[in-house]
C-alpha cells in the first residue's frame, strides 16, 4: 500500500489514542488528562527516539516523560502515568505494520521498555524471585523514576532469559490470570 503523510498521521493518531484509553488512564484523577496526553503523543517527533544506544534512548524517554507529565492537568501529572503512556505508544508504533518501518523502529526495539502496570509488575516480581530486590508495587500513579528503573533493569534480565526483548514481556504478563 502506498502511504502518504496524511495516512501516516492518521495511523499515528490512532496509536496515540489507543495508548491512552479507558484502561490505561484508569484512576488518573483529572478532567482533560486523556485528551492532553493524546495530544502530546500525537505531536511527538518519533525520530527523536531513534538512538544508537540504550543510555541515549533512555535520556530521550526521560525527557519526554517529564514534558508529558508537565503537559497534563494538575492532579493528573503523574510520572508513572506519563511513562506508561509513552511506553504503550512507542510499543504501538513498533507493532504497527506500516509505522514500524516508516519510523525505523526496528533499530530501537531492543531499547523499548515494558509498559509497567500491576500485571507487568507482578510478572516481573514473580520471575525475579527476589534476586534483585524489586520494590513493592505501589501503583502506577505513585511510580517515579527510581523504582521504575529497577523494574526495567529486571525486565532486561528476564527478557534475556525468555529470549525476547523487554517490551514484549507485556504480552506475557498482561492479565495473565484471566487468560489461564
* pLDDT tens, residue by residue, 23-57: 777 777 677 788 999 999 999 999 999 999 999 99
Given this model, what pLDDT does residue 133 score?
81
pTM exceeds 0.85, yes or no: yes
How is the chain split into domains, by residue range?
5-107, 118-179
Listed in sequence order, the residues at least 6 apart from 139 whose beta carbon sits closer than 8 Å to its beta carbon are 80, 118
What band does 176 get if pLDDT is binned at 50, 70 and 90?
low
Residues 6+ apart with CB under 8 A from 87: 112, 113, 114, 115, 116, 167
* Helix pair angle (79-95, 145-161), 10° resolution: 30
pLDDT at 132 over 90: no
pLDDT of residue 47: 95
Amino acid at each position: 500500500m502506498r502511504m502518504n503523510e496524511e495516512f501516516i498521521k492518521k495511523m499515528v493518531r490512532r496509536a496515540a489514542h489507543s495508548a491512552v484509553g479507558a484502561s490505561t488512564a484508569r484512576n488518573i484523577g483529572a478532567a482533560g488528562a486523556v485528551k492532553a496526553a493524546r495530544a502530546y503523543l500525537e505531536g511527538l517527533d518519533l525520530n527523536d527516539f531513534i538512538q544508537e544506544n540504550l543510555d541515549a534512548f533512555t535520556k530521550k524517554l526521560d525527557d519526554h516523560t517529564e514534558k508529558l507529565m508537565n503537559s497534563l492537568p494538575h492532579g493528573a501529572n503523574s510520572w508513572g502515568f506519563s511513562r506508561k503512556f509513552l511506553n504503550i505508544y512507542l510499543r504501538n508504533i513498533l507493532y504497527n505494520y506500516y509505522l514500524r518501518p516508516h519510523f525505523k523502529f526496528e533499530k530501537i526495539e531492543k531499547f523499548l521498555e515494558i509498559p509497567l502496570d500491576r500485571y507487568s509488575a507482578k510478572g516481573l516480581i514473580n520471575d525475579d524471585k527476589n534476586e534483585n530486590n524489586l520494590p513493592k508495587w505501589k501503583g502506577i500513579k505513585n511510580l517515579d523514576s527510581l523504582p521504575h528503573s529497577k523494574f526495567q533493569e529486571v525486565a532486561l534480565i528476564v527478557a534475556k532469559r525468555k529470549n525476547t526483548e523487554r517490551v514484549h514481556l507485556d504480552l506475557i504478563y498482561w492479565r495473565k490470570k484471566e487468560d489461564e
